[in-house]
Each structure stands twice: as structure tokens, then as C-alpha cells.
């Protein structure tokens, strides 16, 4: 790493938030192109989408070159993620060129390079979290593979038994098809049974034939659904914990090394040992953490320089990073701005009484009761005018509550960083107020009731009720844990996006147009069979699932979401049997691996919450605070 | 606890295995009565079942009195389990008397006392495991309740939103019913969505209406199915671990205390400290563990009396229980019995060659190939006579394999306690041989192909293939863990039995006769609607689920099993809406609590397997063995 001013400036520029935001913008622009390309949700001409794509690729190339400038050459070329990005750019360009050329001669080809687009999301340096998650998945692979093979062996064995037991009975499924006569179909049916999607259906013909055959399915479900799926969770969870420990250890080690390096740069000799002088230490802290208060900095100094010697030794210096990570809530007893501007009014008897009233527990209880009454009003019918008037009353009450609270507590404290619920309340109420006013104006001026705005008003009204959870201590603990894990859940969101993106594009190529959705009163041929005669009399058509199709990216996305929940698959009927592999692959990647990692993550988050142990450094700070009084 | 010879004899009698087996027999007899009582699988007259029930209750009373004799009075009356059993006996008798009396006057009443029958299974001293599991559930309750309330709050909120968003759109479900218009029905539908049973169905009408409403269901599924269900698992698992630790600690403490008591009885003074003499120690070990070999006992003595002083001090004595728990595989190089009976033949060159061949790896591989070929033959059609001849060839090959192995290895070692796979192989092969011979004889003598025997033959044939798993090291590790947890899984079997029993009896009272099963070509009215006009055009009837009913105990049991996998519930249609509570209650008890405990148990078992650490005592033994050579 060069340390010349030019290189450093280039490095700063590379890490500037505008540059990062631009990169992310183009990554998502590139990903969202799929909405506008054939088969499109909102069709755009091919020229437009391809121009945008070229633009995106250009931005990625520039970004990559910039990164090459700020990294030593050998490091840059050793890093697989850079190679990946370069290959992806080249592949996209080639594919685009071929597709465009063939298009001119009216030959339809497949835009296969679209599945490499998520690579940009994964491999740009900014999405370190997602890359780490992918690494974790890769590490889990060997372990999972063994269990998976054993699991597949069990499925194959049971399928063989099923073929022998039921194959020659001439049984029929509910759809009138032959039951359990083809080995591969049995394997697939039993695999789907593991996901519980076709749970009683697949068993019913055999069960109707004889009691005892139910035992076969019971054994199957116990072994494969309950035991094997738990073993998968165990393997993933175990690996997740191991991986987490390694990452933390590595991070701690890196941090320590960097701190030692910093110490070596700043150190001066003092007696027998090297130390950092207080003045320099203060300057450093000011530079690194500019937004902490003076008293907080003094506190840190007191802890680091325990015996007030005017300098800090190596051990205490290295601990600085940990110290800075701990949130010390600076309970500044700020005076209320109103108290400063009109002190007489603010500290008058009436004002004091008001404030003590707001601070009283009864205030919270009163509003809890109001929320409950509001819930009943919401559940009641909207038609009566009294109830829509009541809505205004409730809105007013909530606004008064917020105003009273701001009047009582200091506004900056009330809207502090950690005051999630205050923010939540205020946003919900003001959004509801805006939407309600907007709706009323629209109604009175244009006589037109905008459904979108009404929907939003409804949702906001109901969301208001969540507040009641905050009044009960035990609920608050659980809610806080849930809120704390939201940022990490976004990583899973990214991971899921990548997997869905790839599968949605493959799915569109495989199943596009095979199933169509017609409105309820359509006269089109085969409207009842989702436009495909192969689905006649199938449970798929009867259940009115026609909108579950792969005809564009948005519906593919929703179908994949449904497949994550239960792996139903009427699609295999409308195409070749091998397409079933697509569903099995999706189940393995999404449910067996990613959902299990997600569950592991939540398990771990709650275990940490339950074993509320304070770290060593935190205890040191607390001790010091107590000493200082 | 009295120590007079009479009392001790009485105590021994109480714990005699015949007495315990008798108690279990009558417990299961009492439980199985439900198969013969109205509504019966195999009907018996009321007089017969009630006589058997009285007999069972009599046995339980005698057993309880016996227990009262061997326990101090105050201990006996303080123990809730004895009170429970007494109350259960009284309730059963009262109910039986009332039911019998009313029956004479032809008044039909409900046999409500049948749900207390599992109490006998839980509360007799022999089923300590199940009782412990129930205690674990009880401990989890408070924690679970808070999460459950929060979860229900979330479901109620979403239902309210759904009512507001979809209630006035006049949408229809696939069955043509109004969609999301009744609040309580929405709550129920959304609760079922958590179990993923009605996954796409419940969403389709709103999704058909507009894209954006899918977002509502996606949010719902993420929050309630993925996050809340994982939180339930986290709470249950955390509690399970805590409970497990407590139990182990308590057991270790008890063991220690008992060992100290024993030491105090046997101790003699030796210098400054009390010790146990070697002779007495040996006598004790012989008494406590009569079936360990002399060399094993000598080894234990060497470990306990480290410096060969001829006596054992308190610390080493207390450790004895742990030492006895460790399985030392006494690798006696027993001579093969054939080697003793006809040494010349057995050690001849041909015999030696044969034995070295069997010991060779190639032997295992050859048989793996044979198994694979066999798998292909099984999958092929049964009709051709060549293939049924091939079956005889394979059977012969497997029998030769077992004979060769017994010839090579010492039979007692081959059929040792821990040789699970050898036992498995031999049993499967001989059962298959017997069944095949039986089938052939039946076929040749009566020209009649018994389907039951054929089914068993098929299953045995396929089970044979499992053997191949054992050849691969990694699979063997996983399989061994799975086999090790089988005994504990029986406890879960007991737990599940209790829950199913209670719910099946309630279900039979609620839903009996509402749904009927008719064979495919029946002419009965409403045969297509499962005998109930309310089910006309419902997905339940269309899916041919008619045999899923509560008309007798066996089918109730299977329906409950299906409900455990996915909570589908066409039943609510044929009776009052409140019956839905039955399904929710079952889901809470079975899926949220018991299945999660089961998953926790498997997770823990695999974590222990992955962190293969040897205990301190085991290391001590190993050290000693190495020292002794």
C-alpha cells in the first residue's frame, strides 16, 4: 500500500460515500434491468435496456480500475473477486453482442449472461457481509454433502419400497392418474413429501386401500422430515457457530495488530518502556471519533491512564478500540429549550404539574387503554360516520401525547439514536395524519376515494397498535432482540436476492408462458386450465393457482417465495420431467442451506441475549464510572 | 426407608422385573381399550371392555398400595404422582359407573374419563423418562408464553390489516366462498398460514386482484413463520439445555452423596484417614457389577489404588461409579470354537487362505458391488422368472457372507453387544429367507399369493441395501449418532402417545361421524362429499381426504399425525367454528412445544458428537491402560 499523498487521496476518493452509493445504484440498476427486458413487467425497447446495461458495465469497469490503482498490483491480481468481476463484465458484453446480432436477423436466443449479474452485488468490496455469508455457505458444503447423500439414499430406499408395495395395485391419485408406478416420479413425490407440501395427498390412495400402508408414510416422515431435516439444521448451525468464532478471532487479531502498529508510530520512550503521551492520545481520539463528548473522552483517558501518569502504556493503548466501541450513554441533564427561552412559564406550577403528570405511570396506562379502544374501533365497520370521526379524535389524542412528551422530556433526548419507539411512534402518527388529510381532501374535491392511500391509512392505523407491546417489560426484551437483528437480516435479504435472482432467470427461461393467468370472467380457451390443456382437472388449476407463473420477473420472484415456504410444483406437469430437478435444486439451496443459516442466526442471537454477560472491558468502564462517582 | 429384612424383601419384590412388566402390560391394556370401545376399530361388548377396565384399575390400586408399603408414609402422601394416580382411578371408576347406569336406561353420555388414562403411563414410577420430559415442558412454559403472546399479537394485528385491506373487495376463494370478511376466520386462516398448510391458497385471491398484496403475505410469512417459529425453537432449545445441565448436575450430586454414604458404611481407620480395604472393595465390585471380567476388575483396582497400598481412600472410592460406567472393551482374543474342535482343519492352508480372504478389504467391496447389482434387480420388474431366481442367488450370497464371517471371526465377538450392523444383517437376511420360503410354499401348495408376506419380503429386500452405508466411514459416523439416539427417541414416542391419546379422544367426541369414507365405486348419497353435504365442492372432498376422519381411534391417530406435519383442517367446516380452537391447541402443544424439543434434542446430540471430547475419568483409565501396557 502506497502512502504518497496522491495515492492516499485516490484511496479516500475510492472510499468516499458518494462513490460507494453510485456503485450500489448501478448494481441495483443493472439487477433491475430484468424487469424491463423480455419477458418484461414494464416493457422497454431492447435498445434502451442494452444501452443501460452497457452503461452499468462501464461504471463497473471504471470502479474496478480505480480499485486497481489503489491496490498493489500483485494483491489485486491474486484476489478472486476482481477476476470474477472482470469475467462477469466480459461475459455480459459478449452475450449482449451475440444476442443483439442475432436479434437483427430475427433469431431468438437466450440471454444467459443475466444470471451472472448478482456477481457484481457479491463481489464489489462494499458488500463484505454478503461475501462472508457466501463463504460460510461454502464452508458448510462438505459436511452438508455427506448428510445430504445419506438423506438421498434414504429417500431412494423408501421410493424403492413404495414402488414394490404400491406399484402393482392399480391405485389412482385424486387427479385420476396412476399412483406410484414410475420410480423417478415416486422419488420426486417423496422428496416433496419431505417439504410437507403434498403431505396428506401423496398418502391418501395407499391409505384408502389399507390402514397399514399409513405406517410406511409415518416412518418416512419421522425419518426424513423430522430427523434428517434436524440433522441438516444441526450441521449448518454447528458450522455457523464455528465460522462465527473464527471470524471474531480473526477480527480481534487484526484489530490488535493494527493497534500495535499505530502504537509503534506514536510511541515515545519513557523510562524503561515505550508509551504514548496524553496530548497525542487526545488528538488521536479526537481524529478517530470526532463526535464523542469531552466528558466521554476524559472518562476514556481516566480508564486508559489508570494511575494518572500523563501517558498511556501499550496495553491500555491497544484496548482503545474496544473502549470506543462501547456505547456510553452520556446522560447529560440538558435543560429543556423551552426552559431556556421562557423560564417563567416553563417552571410555573401548572407546567410542573403537567410534566409530572406525563411522567406518571398512569399516563402510559391511559394511553394503553386508548390504544385498546382504538383497536376495537378499527375492527368495527368503517361505514358509519361516527367511526370515521372517531379516527380524527384518536389521531388528535396521539398527537397530543407526542407533544406532551416532547414538552416534558428534552427533545434531543426524546429523539435520541436509541429511542427506537419514539421515532416509530412519531413517524407512524405523522404519516397517518398526512395520509388521512390527503385522503379527505381528495374525497371532498374529486369525489374519488384513492384506494392506494386508503390502504396505506389502514396499515398505518393498525401499526399504531404495536405500541402497546412496549408497555410490558418482557415483551420489550423480545422486541428489542428482534429489532437488533434487523441489520443482519438485511444480509440475508441480499443473499436471498442473489439466489432468487439466479433461479428466477432460469425459471423464466424454462417455464415462461407455459401457464397463463386469466381474469375470473375470461372467455379465452383453457382459461380454467391456466391456458394449458395439460393442467385440465389438476389440483393446480382447481386451486386457482394460475397467477403462480414464471411469465415475468416479479411473478417468478413471488413463486420462488412460495416455493421457499412449501415446495409445491404444478409446473413440472407442463414441461419435461427433468424440470423437477429445478425445484429440488431450489429446495436444497434455499431451504436446506439458507433458511437453516437464518434459523441458526436467530438461535444464536437469542442465546446471546439470554446469557447477558458483560465483557471484560465493559466491566472496566463501569468500575471507573463508579469510582469517579 | 425401613431396613428390616421384610421391608427389603417387599422392596425387591416391588422392583422385580416381572412386577414392572405386569404393570406396563396393564397400562397398555388400559390404553388400548379405546380400540374396542365405541367408536371401535374392533367392537367388543360394553360389558367386556368395562370388566377389563375394572381389572386394570384394580391392578393399579394394588401396585399403588404395594408402593405405599415400601415408602415412608409422609413421603408417599407428599408425592403428587401418587395423588394423581389415585384421583385418576377414582375418576375412571365414577365415570364407568355413571356411564353404565345411564346405558341401562339407554341414555347416551360421554366417556370423559378416558382422557385421564395416560396419567397411569406418566405417573407410575417406571416411566421416569417421560415424567422428566413433562417437567421440562412445564419449565419451558412461562418463557414460551411470553413469546406466544407476542406472536398472537402479531397474528391479530395482521388479521386486522387483512380485514381492512381485503374485507370489502368482494373477493372469493377458490371454493367460491367470501374471502377475508370475518375477523375470526381471518385470524384462523393466518394462523394456519404459519404452519404453511394453506400456503399459496390463502394468498391467491388477493394476489389475483393485485401484485402488491403479495407483499402483505410475504411480510407475514417472514415475520411469523420464519422469525417467530425460530424464536420458539430458540426458547425451547435454550430451556432444554439449561434443564439438561441441571438434571446432570443433580444426578452427579446424588451419585456423589450415595457413594459417600457407602464409603462411611465400609470405612476403616488407617493412619490419619479413613479408607476401604482392598478385599472389601473387591467384594463390593463383585456384588454391584457381577458381569465384568476379572482382568477388568483388576484394572479398576489399579486405577483406584494408584500406589498399591492395599486400601482405597475416599476420593478414589467415590469415583468408582464413574469408572464402572465406562465401557472397557475387553479384547479377549478368544480362540475360534472351530479352532478348538478341529484344530487341524481350521488351521489348514485352505482355511487360512479363506480367512485372510474374508478379512481382506476386497471382500467388503465385492459385497458392496453385489448389493448394488441387487438394487438394480429389485428395481426391475418382478414378472420375469429369471429375476425371481436371481433373488434366490442373492439370498444365497448373503447367507454365505454371514457364514464366512462367522467362520473367520469368533462368533461371540461377531454377535457382540455393540455389533449393531452384524445383528441387523443377520436378522434381515434370515427374516427374508423365512418369508421367501413361506411365500414359495404357500404359492406352490395353495396357489394363493399372500399379499402381507409378499409386502414383508419386499421391505426386507430393500432394507438389505442399507448395509452399503456402513462401508463408508463418514456415513457410519452419522448413522451411529442416529442409532445412539434411538432410545431417547422412544421417550418422545411416549410423550407423543400421551398427547395424541388425549387429543384423539377429544377429537372423536367432537368430530365422530361427521365425515365418512366410501369406497371408490360407492352409490351412497353424498359419497363424493365424504357423506356430508357441507363439504360439497370443498378442496377437502376434491382431494379425496375422506378417510382422514375421527371415526375411530386408529384414524384419529393418523389424522393427528398429518396435523403434526401440516395443520390442514377441513373439519372445521362440518361442525361449529369453535372447533378450530382444537386444531390451534393441537398445533401449539405438538408442533410448537414437542417437535421443538425433539429438534433441540437432535441438535444437542449432534453437537455432542461433533465436539468429541473425552471426560476426565475416561482419560485416567486410558492412561492406566497405557501404563500397564
**Is the pLDDT confidence value at B332 over 60?**
no
Q: Is the pLDDT of residue B281 over 90?
A: no
List of chain A residues whose C-beta atoms are within 8 Å of the C-beta of residue B192 = none
Write down the pLDDT at residue A58: 93
**Interval B246-262 mean pLDDT:** 84
Residue A79 pLDDT exceeds 50: yes
Is residue A613's pLDDT more than 50? no
Report pLDDT for B330.
54
Number of A–B residue contacts, CB under 8 Å: 201
Tell me how far apart the alpha carbons of residues B124 and B131 are, in angstroms, rounded to a whole number.
9
Whether residue B329 is predicted with pLDDT greater than 60 in this model: the reply is no
Q: Which chain A residue's Cα is nearest to B558?
A: A214
Q: CA-CA distances (angstroms) from residue B452 to A112, A604, B446, B592?
A: 54, 49, 15, 38
**Residues of B with CB below 8 A from A556's CB?**
none
ipTM of the complex: 0.84
- What confidence tier does A614 reach under pLDDT thresholds 50, 70, 90? very low
User: Mutate which of A497, A565, A566, A608 to test chain B, going by most B C-beta atoms within 10 A?
Assistant: A565
- Segment A606-615 shows an average pLDDT of 66
Cβ contact (<8 Å) for A607 and B379?
no
pLDDT at A57: 92
Identify from A146, A472, A547 which residue to disrupt to test chain B contact, counting B C-beta atoms within 10 A and taking the largest count. Answer: A547
Judge: B225–A565 Cβ closer than 8 Å, yes or no: yes
A160, A234, A482 member nearest B462 (Cβ): A160
Task: Write down how long chain A is.
Answer: 629
* CA of B197 vs chain A CAs: smallest distance (Å): 8
Residue at grid coordinates 414378472: B383
Of B465, B542, B547, the CB nearest to A207: B547
The beta-carbon neighbor of A562 closest among B200, B475, B544 is B200
Q: Which chain B residue shows the shortest CA-CA distance from A469?
A: B150
Nearest to B607 among A164, A234, A558 (CB): A234
Between the alpha carbon of residue A62 and those of residues A14, A26, A54, A327, A348, the distances in Å are 11, 12, 12, 39, 64
Do the Cβ atoms of B231 and A599 come within 8 Å? no
Q: In whole angstroms, give the CA distance from residue A39 to residue A22.
A: 27
Average pLDDT of span B469-495: 82
Confidence of residue B61 (pLDDT cuts 50, 70, 90): very high
Residues from chain B contacting residue A199 (CB–CB below 8 Å): 562, 565-566, 568
Which residue do the cell numbers 411512534 mark?
A425
Average pLDDT, chain A: 81
Question: Do residue A204 and residue B606 have CB atoms under 8 angstroms apart?
Answer: no
For testing contact with chain A, the best of B180, B219, B234 (most A CBs within 10 A): B234
Contact between A478 and B146 using a beta-carbon 8 Å cutoff: yes
Residue B613: is its pLDDT beyond 50? no
Residue in B165, B174, B478 nearest the CB of A455: B165
What average pLDDT does the segment A169-189 reach?
82
| Domain assignments of chain B as residue spans, ordered by start | 5-126, 134-246, 267-325, 337-471, 486-610
Instruction: State the pLDDT at residue B447.
Output: 63
**pLDDT reported for residue B220:** 92
The answer to whether A436 and A457 are in contact (CB under 8 A) is: yes
List CB contacts (< 8 A) between B607 and chain A: 234, 238
Task: Name the 3-class secondary structure at B610.
Answer: helix
pLDDT of residue A598: 87
What pLDDT, in 10s, does the model give residues B214-247?
A: 888 989 998 998 889 988 998 888 888 888 788 8
Q: Shortest CB distance from A602 goes to which of B207, B230, B568?
A: B230
Cβ of A603 within 8 Å of Cβ of B234? The answer is yes
Question: Band of the pLDDT at A155, cuts 50, 70, 90?
Answer: very high
More confident residue, B417 or B97: B97
Listing DSSP states for A135-175 in one string gives HHHHHHHHHHHHHHHHHHHHHHHHHHHHHHHHTTS--B-TT
Min mean pLDDT across A59-73, A192-206, A557-571 is at A557-571
Closest-approach residue (CA) in chain B for A209: B519
Output the pLDDT for position B59: 92
Q: Each residue of B351-400: pLDDT tens digit?
A: 888 888 888 888 888 888 888 888 888 877 666 777 778 888 888 999 99
> What is the per-residue pLDDT across B396-419, written as a single tens digit (0 to 9) for each?
999 998 888 888 887 777 787 777
Choosing among 1.20.120.350, 1.10.760.10, 3.30.390.10, 1.10.3720.10, the CATH entry for B337-471 is: 1.20.120.350
Helix (H, G, I), strand (E, B) or coil at B476: helix
Which residues in chain A have Cβ-Cβ distances shorter than 8 Å to B391? none
**What's the DSSP call for residue B485?**
T
B603 and A233 within 8 Å at the Cβ level: the answer is yes
Q: What is the SS3 assignment for B110-137?
A: CCHHHHHCHHHHHHCCCCHHHHHHHHHH
Percentage of chain B lying above the pLDDT 70 cut: 90
Q: Of the ranges A368-377, B1-10, B457-466, which one carries the lowest mean pLDDT score? A: B1-10
Nearest chain B residue to A556 by CA distance is B211
Out of A146, A149, A227, the one facing B482 most closely (by C-beta) is A227
- Could you tell me if B609 and A143 are in contact, meaning their C-beta atoms sit under 8 angstroms apart? no
Percent of chain A with pLDDT over 90: 5
Of A146, A234, A602, the CB nearest to B602: A234
The predicted model gives A78-97 an average pLDDT of: 89
| Identity of the residue in B199, B379, B469 whose CB atom sits nearest the CB atom of A153 | B469
pLDDT(B55) > 90: yes
What is the pLDDT, as a whole number, of residue B567? 63
Q: Is the pLDDT of residue A329 over 60?
A: no
Q: How far is A462 from chain B (nearest CA, A)?
A: 6
Overall average pLDDT of the B593-597 stretch: 86
Q: Do A211 and B548 touch (CB under 8 A)?
A: no
Indicate yes or no: CB of B545 within 8 angstroms of CB of A204.
Answer: yes
- A268: three-class secondary structure by DSSP: strand
Is there a contact between B160 and A375 if contact means CB atoms under 8 Å apart?
A: yes
Residues of A in contact with B237 (CB under 8 A): 603
For chain A, report the end-to-end CA distance as a whole number of angstroms.
46
Average pLDDT score over residue span A559-580: 72
CB-closest option in B479, B547, B561 to A204: B547
pLDDT at B91: 92
Q: What is the mean pLDDT of residues A419-430?
A: 85
State how far residue A618 is from chain B, nearest Cα, in angstroms. Answer: 25
Q: Is A603 in Cβ contact with B196 (below 8 Å)? A: no
Among B462, B521, B605, the strongest candidate for a mutation testing the A interface, having the largest count of A CBs within 10 A, is B462
Q: Which residues contact B493 (CB under 8 A, 6 or more apart)?
A: none
pLDDT tens digit string along B338-353? 777 777 777 788 888 8
User: A172 has which bridge partners?
Assistant: A178
Can you give the pLDDT at residue B287?
78
Nearest chain A residue to B375 by CA: give it: A160
Do residue B161 and residue A458 have CB atoms under 8 angstroms apart?
yes
Give the number of other CB atoms < 10 A from CB of residue B341: 9
pLDDT digits 0-9 by tens, B288-322: 777 777 777 777 777 777 777 777 777 777 777 77
Task: Indicate the pLDDT class of residue A464, thresholds 50, 70 and 90.
Answer: confident
pLDDT of amino acid B588: 87
Q: Which among B147, B204, B211 is the nearest to A478, CB-wise?
A: B147
Model pLDDT, residue B155: 92
Least confident of A332-341, B219-228, B587-596: A332-341
Give the per-residue SS3 of A605-623.
Answer: HHHHHHCCCCCHHHHHHHH
Contacts of B164 in chain A (CB under 8 A): 378, 382, 458-459, 461-462
Helix (H/G/I), strand (E/B), else coil: B418: coil
Can you name the CATH fold of B134-246? Helix Hairpins (1.10.287)
So what's the pLDDT on residue B138? 83
| Residue, of B456 and A233, whose pLDDT is higher | A233
Q: Per CATH, the architecture of A342-473 is what? A: Up-down Bundle (1.20)
CA distance B429 to B425: 6
Average pLDDT over residues B595-608: 85
Q: What is the pLDDT of residues B155-190, one digit of tens each?
A: 998 998 888 888 877 788 777 778 888 888 888 888
pLDDT, averaged across chain B: 81
- Is residue A430's pLDDT more than 80? yes
Strand ranges inside B165-320, DSSP E: 268-270, 273-277, 311-313
The confidence score (pLDDT) of residue B626 equals 64
Subunit contact B234:A201, Cβ cutoff 8 A:
no
The answer to whether B218 contacts A558, with C-beta atoms less than 8 Å apart, is yes
Residues of B in contact with A543 (CB under 8 A): 174, 200-201, 204, 539
Amino acid at each position: 500500500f502506497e502512502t504518497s499523498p496522491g495515492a492516499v487521496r485516490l484511496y479516500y476518493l475510492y472510499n468516499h460515500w458518494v462513490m460507494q452509493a453510485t456503485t450500489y445504484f448501478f448494481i441495483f440498476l443493472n439487477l433491475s434491468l430484468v424487469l424491463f427486458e423480455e419477458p418484461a413487467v414494464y416493457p422497454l425497447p431492447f435498445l434502451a435496456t442494452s444501452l443501460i446495461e452497457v452503461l452499468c458495465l462501464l461504471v463497473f469497469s471504471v470502479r474496478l480500475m480505480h480499485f486497481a490503482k489503489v491496490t498493489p498490483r500483485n494483491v489485486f491480481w491474486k484476489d478472486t473477486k476482481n477476476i470474477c468481476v472482470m469475467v462477469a463484465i466480459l461475459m455480459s458484453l459478449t452475450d449482449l453482442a451475440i444476442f443483439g446480432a442475432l436479434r437483427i436477423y430475427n433469431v431468438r436466443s437466450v440471454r444467459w449472461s443475466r444470471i451472472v449479474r448478482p456477481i457484481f452485488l457479491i463481489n464489489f468490496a462494499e458488500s463484505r457481509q454478503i461475501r462472508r455469508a457466501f463463504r460460510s455457505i461454502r464452508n458448510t458444503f462438505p459436511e452438508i454433502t455427506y448428510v445430504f447423500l445419506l438423506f438421498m439414499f434414504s429417500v431412494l430406499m423408501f421410493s424403492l419400497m413404495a414402488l414394490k408395495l404400491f406399484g402393482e395395485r392399480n391405485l389412482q391419485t385424486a387427479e385420476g392418474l396412476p399412483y406410484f408406478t414410475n420410480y423417478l416420479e415416486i422419488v420426486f413425490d417423496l422428496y416433496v413429501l419431505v417439504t410437507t407440501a403434498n403431505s396428506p395427498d401423496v398418502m391418501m390412495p395407499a391409505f384408502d386401500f389399507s390402514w397399514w400402508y399409513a405406517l410406511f408414510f409415518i416412518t418416512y416422515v419421522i425419518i426424513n422430515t423430522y430427523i434428517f431435516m434436524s440433522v441438516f439444521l444441526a450441521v449448518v448451525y454447528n458450522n455457523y457457530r464455528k465460522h462465527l468464532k473464527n471470524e471474531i478471532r480473526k477480527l480481534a487479531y487484526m484489530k490488535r495488530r493494527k493497534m500495535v502498529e499505530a502504537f509503534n508510530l506514536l510511541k515515545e520512550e519513557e523510562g524503561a518502556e515505550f508509551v504514548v503521551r496524553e496530548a497525542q492520545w487526545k488528538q488521536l481520539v479526537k481524529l478517530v471519533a470526532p463526535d464523542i463528548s469531552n466528558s466521554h473522552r476524559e472518562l476514556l483517558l481516566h480508564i486508559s491512564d489508570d494511575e494518572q501518569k500523563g501517558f498511556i502504556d501499550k496495553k491500555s493503548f491497544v484496548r482503545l478500540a474496544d473502549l470506543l466501541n462501547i456505547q456510553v450513554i452520556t446522560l447529560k441533564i440538558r435543560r429543556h429549550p423551552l426552559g431556556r427561552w421562557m423560564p417563567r412559564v416553563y417552571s410555573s406550577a401548572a407546567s410542573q404539574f403537567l410534566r409530572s403528570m406525563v411522567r406518571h405511570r398512569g399516563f402510559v396506562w391511559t394511553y394503553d387503554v386508548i390504544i385498546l379502544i382504538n383497536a376495537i374501533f378499527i375492527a368495527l365497520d368503517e361505514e358509519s360516520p361516527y367511526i370515521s370521526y372517531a379516527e380524527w379524535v384518536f389521531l388528535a389524542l396521539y398527537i397530543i401525547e407526542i407533544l406532551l412528551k416532547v414538552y416534558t422530556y428534552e427533545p434531543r433526548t426524546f429523539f435520541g439514536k436509541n429511542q427506537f419507539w419514539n421515532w416509530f411512534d412519531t413517524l407512524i402518527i405523522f404519516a397517518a395524519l398526512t395520509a388521512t388529510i390527503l385522503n379527505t381532501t381528495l374525497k371532498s374535491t374529486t369525489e374519488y376515494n384513492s384506494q392506494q392511500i386508503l390502504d396505506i391509512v389502514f396499515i398505518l392505523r393498525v401499526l399504531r397498535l404495536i405500541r402497546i407491546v412496549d408497555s410490558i417489560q418482557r415483551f420489550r426484551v423480545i422486541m428489542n432482540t428482534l429489532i437488533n437483528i434487523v441489520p443482519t437480516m438485511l444480509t440475508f435479504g441480499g443473499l436471498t436476492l442473489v439466489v432468487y435472482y439466479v433461479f428466477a432467470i432460469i425459471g423464466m427461461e424454462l417455464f415462461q408462458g407455459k401457464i397463463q393467468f386469466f381474469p375470473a370472467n375470461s372467455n379465452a380457451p383453457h382459461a380454467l386450465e391456466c391456458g394449458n390443456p395439460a393442467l385440465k382437472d389438476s389440483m393446480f388449476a382447481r386451486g386457482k393457482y394460475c397467477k403462480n407463473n414464471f411469465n415475468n420477473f416479479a411473478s417468478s420472484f413471488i413463486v420462488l417465495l412460495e416455493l421457499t415456504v412449501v415446495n409445491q410444483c404444478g409446473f413440472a406437469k407442463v414441461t419435461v420431467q427433468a424440470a423437477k430437478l429445478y425445484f429440488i435444486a431450489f429446495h436444497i439451496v434455499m431451504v436446506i442451506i439458507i433458511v437453516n443459516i437464518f434459523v441458526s442466526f436467530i438461535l444464536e442471537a437469542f442465546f446471546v441475549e439470554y446469557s447477558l454477560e458483560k465483557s471484560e472491558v465493559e466491566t472496566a468502564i463501569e468500575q471507573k464510572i463508579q469510582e469517579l462517582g
